[in-house]
Amino acid sequence: MDKLFEGIKVIDCSRVFSGPFCSRFFSDYGAEVLKIETENFFDESRLFYPLKNGKSGYFEVLNRGKKSVNIDIKTPEGLEEFYELIKEADIFIENFSPNVKKRLKIDYETLSKINPRLIYGSVNGYGENWDKKAYDVIVQAESGIASFNGEDKPIKNATAMIDAFSGNSLALGIASLLYKREKTRKGDFVNVSMISCGFQLLKQNIIATSITGINPDFPGNQDTSIFPFGFYKTQDGNISIAIGNDVLWENFCENIIPEIAGKFGSNAQRMVAKEHLVKTMEYVFDNYTTNELITKLEELGIPCGKIASMTDLIDTPKFFEENYLKKMNHPELGEIVVPYKFIHFNKYNIEDVKVAPSIQKK
């Protein structure tokens, strides 16, 4: 089977989430990814929960298929050994702050002199001109996302969404430069800042405040631009409903809440009345179990969904049939379920799920 990035060599000095998430994309699709670590200077996510037999599930899912190379870039000998790898590399990925990579002598200016064809991918908190350390939770706060994520106080998003988005964005930037290199025969540098990714995730909120001068209220389980577009209580749980236009709304009212059919016909009217409408909807939804309501809404063509748990995901055969999830037998973790393909190419596949590497012994 042809591999999308066959013949591409990636040197990966990144840690934790965003950088490893980026380099995993290249590993999944055929690139050789060399993860640079030592016993004393290693990716700290190797210690993150969940742990079993000394192995981290967190590290596993982000570093599958990579190879460990034990090089201490903090020593002169190790740095020279690292430079030899860079000479033959196509891509270098790191997520250090600007001053750290300069101090380590692995910045773009240094490495591009060693290999002018090198594509250097960098992801950090605040860009190349701001030496401030960051993690996803810090950027959730400082990007403004946390200021309206919740009902009456800021709530941390349960997933590292900015890490994932910034890692994906860096992969997009690197792939773009790979394409450009085919024409120019020269490498280049691409940086993704987590704070700018946070701004992109804010969608309409920044522009809305710039227009109105008003900070958005905590929206709770509702959207800040569309209604109804959120989570609602049912007889036995909760349901997600997304009614994105007036035609769907009228269809919904006529068949589910006929007493308000013909009312609140525009999204603007619904946004003004959303507190009242949530109460009305949930009063009616109390007559349905979640599954009953989903069945009825799907028959009407109204987008909806169940609030799934992790066990719900694992127990859904369709996700495995579509290769969104995959079961694998891990030598230390046992049988595990991992996220698998999220980009489906017509001619290129992830050949197999391979385990993440242990630190190479010197």
Is residue 29 within 8 Å of residue 344, measured between CB atoms? Answer: no
pLDDT band at 224 (very low <50, low <70, confident <90, very high): confident
CA distance 54 to 333: 9
pLDDT band at 219 (very low <50, low <70, confident <90, very high): confident
74-89 tens-digit pLDDT: 999 999 999 999 999 9
- How far CA 306 is from CA of 26, 222, 236, 291, in Å, comes to 33, 16, 11, 8
Residue 362 has pLDDT above 80, yes or no: no
Q: How far does Cα 37 stand from its chain's mean position?
A: 24
Is residue 60 within 8 Å of residue 333, measured between CB atoms? Answer: yes
Query: Residues 286-305: what's their mean pLDDT?
Result: 98
pLDDT at 356: 96
The pTM assigned to this predicted structure is 0.93
Query: Residues 276-294: what's their mean pLDDT?
Result: 98
pLDDT at 299: 98
pLDDT at 351: 67
Task: Tell me which fold the domain 9-200+322-339 belongs to.
Answer: Rossmann fold (3.40.50)
CA angle centred on 207, ends 134 and 150, rounded to 5°:
55
Query: Residues 122-145: what's their mean pLDDT?
Result: 95
Task: Tell me which fold the domain 229-306 belongs to.
Answer: formyl-coa transferase, domain 3 (3.30.1540)
Choose among 163, 123, 118: nearest CA to 143.
163
Average pLDDT, the chain: 95
243-278 tens-digit pLDDT: 999 999 999 999 999 999 999 999 999 999 999 999
Query: Residues 165-169: what's their mean pLDDT?
Result: 98
Domain boundaries, the chain: 9-200+322-339, 229-306
Query: Residues 16-39: what's their mean pLDDT?
Result: 97
- 307 Cβ contact partners less than 8 Å away, ≥ 6 residues apart: 231, 237, 238, 239, 240
Query: Residues 56-75: what's their mean pLDDT?
Result: 97
